[in-house]
Amino acid sequence: MNESKLSPQSVSIVVQGPVVGTPDLPVQERVTQRVLASIRRCFPGAEIVLSTWEGTNLDGLEYDIAQLNSDPGGFSVEGPDGSQFPNNMNRMLFSTRRGLEAATRPYAIKCRTDCEFANDRILNGYGRFDFGGETYRFVKNRIVGCTHYSRDPRIPYPGLGHLAHHPSDIIQLGWTDDLRALWSAPLALTPESRWQELEAPDTKRTYRWFRYLPEQYVWLHFLRQHTTVECDHISHMHPGIVEETDRYIAGNFVLQTPHQLGVVPLKPGLLKRFLPETCYTYRQWLQTYGRISRRGSFSMLVPDLPKYRNWMRLLAWEGRNRFRSLRGRIERRLGIARG
């Protein structure tokens, strides 16, 4: 376990997506400008890569590298009621990949153009959980990701069903090469991105939908470079897929809450609109990580001392965080201002 905190100078922060808010708007509405300013404030010395679209007005924005991309376009998908709406999977995939290609530092953070940083806490989590679970790990070091919206396949999402192999793409921190490999999926063709016979669990209607959600498409492509994964469409379920999802996500990600990561989405309702109750919690991730990090039952009888010390550090770290959270709630209840 790596106890040292990453230096911002070693990190490229790739801000991908459309620029939100034009220079003529009030400051509060210049969303991407606020995001970039928060990065400068919280990560002094970090490289900022803004990956957006050709023709975008970049006046007033802080960045080191502007990666202006041609628009790969989206495609229309038919919803349950027959209405058409756009699928922007290719735009997300292309702008992320191009931004990571432009990054020059050994580590990278991938984030959105509408997610502001309150602090640099995300750097604290990297490297803390990098022992054990090698059977399920295909990255050099586990990627720090977000519990929102890493879907728990045990809990059905209304209208879509149980979503396996769905890690969040809101924010990610890892080795730059690991993130490049993660985002190496080719642009999706329309037939690949539709599943013609998906039956909605709640209405029993069959309708056209994405074959995979964007997060599934990216993650499954990465996994299939290393192992065989049976997941044919959005809500594909089979014996073992829940445990498989748990283990591959815990093997390659460290899932933390937005608060733990220090990220504040500026898009209204982003943290509540898409049913966070259907997602993994940090505690769930930690439990799965504990399971896959053991080296068999023998290690329970004869503990590996370095590993034992690492677990003690983890427990102490978790205990400190819980104490601070409890103390904060008590102080707020009593109206005590901390100096």
58 and 160 inside one domain: yes
Residue 1 has pLDDT above 60, yes or no: no
* 3-class SS of residue 182: helix
| pLDDT at residue 200, rounded to an integer | 45
Domain count, the chain: 2
Looking at residue 169, what is its pLDDT? 95
Q: Do 133 and 292 form a contact (C-beta atoms < 8 A)?
A: yes
pTM given for the model: 0.82
- What percent of the chain lies above the pLDDT cut of 70? 77
Provide the 8-state DSSP code for 119.
Answer: S
Q: Kindly state whether residue 298 falls inside one of the protein's structural domains.
A: no
Residue 198 is predicted with a pLDDT of: 47
Residues 163, 309: one domain? no
In a domain, 339, yes or no: no
Note down the domain range covering 314.
303-332
Together in a domain, 323 and 185: no
Q: Does 106 share its domain with 12? A: yes
pLDDT value, residue 203: 43
Residue 338 covered by a domain: no
Same domain, 214 and 324: no
Query: Do 326 and 239 belong to one domain?
Result: no
Residues 88 and 109 in one domain: yes
Tens of pLDDT, residue by residue over 235-282, are 899 999 999 999 999 999 999 999 999 999 888 777 777 888 999 999
Q: What secondary structure does DSSP assign to 59-114, as a single string?
A: TT---SEEEEE-----EEEE-TTS-EEEE-HHHHHHHHHHHHHH--SSEEEEEETT
Q: Is the pLDDT of residue 161 over 90?
A: no
Spatial contact of 237 and 153, defined as CB atoms under 8 Å apart:
yes
Q: Where are the alpha helices (DSSP H) in the chain?
A: 31-42, 89-102, 122-125, 176-182, 214-223, 241-252, 258-261, 282-293, 298-301, 305-334
At residue 207, the pLDDT reads 45
Same domain as 194, residue 131: yes
Summarize the confidence of residues 165-176 as an average pLDDT: 97
User: Does the pLDDT value for residue 216 go beyond 90?
Assistant: yes
User: Does one domain contain both 236 and 320?
Assistant: no
Tell me if 25 is assigned to some domain.
yes
Q: Residues 162, 190: one domain?
A: yes
Mean pLDDT of 282-307: 62
